[in-house]
Homo-oligomer: A and B are copies of this chain.
């Protein structure tokens, strides 16, 4: 099945929800209006639909393989990555100074969705490279920037993030890799890192590892972690490649999904020490890593949207083709394509509504990110940063959790054929499951939402968002359509449920942390549902207005219908989640460990 990028939907969000016209007024984004967005997205679609998407199924059948320290990627990947790099796609959002295109995240995020829909395993390599670039831009010395950034931005080299060790997964305080200072200012790095995405591969000349380790004598816990650059090949003064560094891939994992993406175990320093260069200051590694992580978390949320879109397209295709049974309403006298059966419609609409809702949320968050970095007014930058920060765990957590439901429905629409690997629907189901785990599990996102984003300011930021949602409710109330009324009812109920939960979390996080954290993931799911639903409500307002002006009636009507579905079938889950959080903490914690 071919993938077709949903450009119309993306451009709707970019124009009407993210308001790219306002972004184009900001310094540095003067050329980044709607026309640019459209042109970039069309080019992006062309490469991904034509070159990268067709490799997705192939990557599942012929995953990356490991032999004698060398990783060979799926046939076709290397050439596709060359085309990706040559097209300038790696540098899309990165500074012009280092060879990038300096485009806003509002456009870059949508391109990221297209790339991930096309081929999630492939897309992980650029995704991690983006994180490495981000860290060097923020904290790297001029020397490190000069040595590494151009070639990362151009896609000539790729980057990795090395956090996890066997005993240190979610708990980075347990990191044991160590770094010994050398007289020349460099360090020798020792340790084992696991789960390193594209930690070894054959698609680029060099790999730039960003590695967490402890400098000899550093404090225990997270306050003693530093960040290092460790290149696979040493880089000479003239930029040419030198000797092989002492970092080696000893195996790659046998995974349930994203099989084409090599997940490496990397051994540092087994032959005398890997040469590493400190990024920023000693013991501030976690802070820098969070910069990479935050970029990566947004990107992983987008992966959830991307795989949901791909699974949806595949399911629609099958449902239009597969003929089975007569429609229940007697509208046809013979067996019909299964898309005519109400339960198949319900499944497809669920997939569609989740995907569009999360896409709208991610688009609006990207605009906030752009404003947080480019708005001329400092106060507006701060407001937008706070809004973006609140949304990151929702985008990562909710969009990926919903992708599990969507890819499961994708298999279900295919019936028995969905369980057969050759059909391809199962791959999405298997691939998606990593998304709720890597770059911080859903629980880790929820801890962030509870701790840093809600309890720290006693829910002020969360309530400010609720107040914005009330404004949208007020706009809906003014409308006469049945759809606006229905959406208003569900949005109001969900927002009230959210406020109750925010108060519960703010009250309990310190005094009764077990109660607050018992509801952390449900709170994240409720908040994500609400914010996505809110963007759908804004969608309905725009679409009704556009429809009244006679613009693109079929499309606008579809946006209205999808919003109504979101409200009826997804937002309607919110009050029950509130109940389970506010009334249900005790039963989460009551069972003694030995009785499990």
Q: Which A residues form the contact surface with B (CB < 8 A)? A: 164, 167, 169-171, 173-174, 194-195, 253-257, 316, 319-320, 323-325, 328-330, 335, 337, 339-346, 348-349, 352, 404, 408, 411-412, 415-416, 418-422, 426, 429-430, 433-434, 436-438, 441-443, 446, 486, 513-514, 517-518, 520-522, 554-555, 557-558, 561-562, 564-565, 567-569, 572-576, 579-580, 583-584, 586-593, 595-596
Given contacts A320-B596, A341-B517, 20 further A-B contacts (CB under 8 A): A173-B325, A253-B420, A254-B422, A255-B419, A319-B596, A329-B513, A337-B593, A339-B596, A342-B513, A411-B437, A418-B437, A419-B433, A554-B595, A561-B590, A565-B584, A568-B583, A569-B580, A572-B580, A574-B576, A576-B576
Q: Give chain B residues whose Cβ lies under 8 Å from the Cβ of A404.
A: 408
Chain B proximity of A513: nearest CB distance (Å): 4
Known A-B contacts A446-B343, A573-B576; the reply to A596 vs B419 at CB < 8 A is no
When C-beta atoms are compared, the residue in chain B nearest to A591 turns out to be B561
In the A-B complex, the 9 residue pairs with the smallest Cβ-Cβ separation, listed nearest first, are A568-B584, A256-B426, A565-B587, A342-B517, A343-B443, A328-B513, A171-B325, A342-B518, A564-B587
Docked CA distance A593–B349 (Å): 11
Complex CA distance for A513 and B518, rounded to whole angstroms: 41
Quick one: closest B residue to A427, CB to CB? B256
Contact sample, A vs B, 12 pairs, CB 8 Å cutoff: A169-B324, A170-B324, A174-B324, A256-B430, A316-B596, A341-B443, A346-B518, A349-B588, A412-B436, A564-B590, A572-B580, A573-B576
- B342 near A171: Cβ-Cβ < 8 Å: no
Q: List residues of chain B with CB within 8 A of the CB of A584.
A: 565, 568-569, 572
User: Among B169, B411, B416, B558, which residue has its beta carbon within 8 angstroms of that of A415?
Assistant: B169
Docked-complex contact B324 and A520, CB < 8 angstroms = no
User: How distant is the Cα of A441 from the Cα of B554 in the complex, in angstroms?
Assistant: 32
| B419 touching A434, Cβ below 8 Å | yes
**In contact, B593 and A569 (Cβ under 8 angstroms):** no
Tell me, in angstroms, the Cα distance from A449 to B437 when the chains sit together.
Answer: 37
Which of B254, B335, B443, B568 contacts A587 (CB under 8 A)? Answer: B568
Task: Kindly name the residue among A194, A562, A595 whose own CB sees the greatest number of chain B CB atoms within 10 A.
Answer: A595
In the complex, A564→B588 CA distance in Å?
A: 9
Find chain B residues with CB under 8 A from A426 CB. Answer: 256, 433
- Selected from B343, B349, B514, the residue in CB contact (under 8 A) with A591 is B349
Question: Distance in Å from the Cβ of A492 to the closest Cβ of chain B?
Answer: 13
CB closest residue in chain B, given A582: B568
Is the CB–CB distance between A576 and B572 below 8 Å? Answer: yes
> Chain B's nearest CB lies how many Å from the CB of A251?
11
Let me know if B587 and A579 touch, CB within 8 A: no
- Of B339, B344, B574, B579, the contact of A568 (CB 8 Å cutoff): B579
Residues of B within 8 A of A325 (CB): 170-171, 173
Whether the pair B437, A433 counts as a contact (CB closer than 8 A) is: no
> By the criterion CB–CB under 8 Å, are A591 and B517 in contact?
no
Q: How far is the CA of A341 from the CA of B589 in the complex (A)?
A: 9
Max count, chain B CB within 10 A of own CB: residue among A344, A513, A596 = A596
Min Cβ gap A456→B in Å is 15
A571 CB → nearest B CB, Å: 9
Residues of B within 8 A of A518 (CB): 342-343, 345-346
Q: In the assembled complex, how far is the CB of residue A421 from the closest CB belonging to chain B, in whole angstroms?
A: 5
Task: Verify B416–A437 contact, CB threshold 8 A.
Answer: yes
**Among the interface residues A170, A316, A419, A575, which one has the most CB atoms of the partner chain B within 10 A?**
A419
Q: Which residue of B415, B441, B572 is within 8 Å of A412 (Cβ)?
A: B441
Contacts of A434 in B (CB 8 A): 419
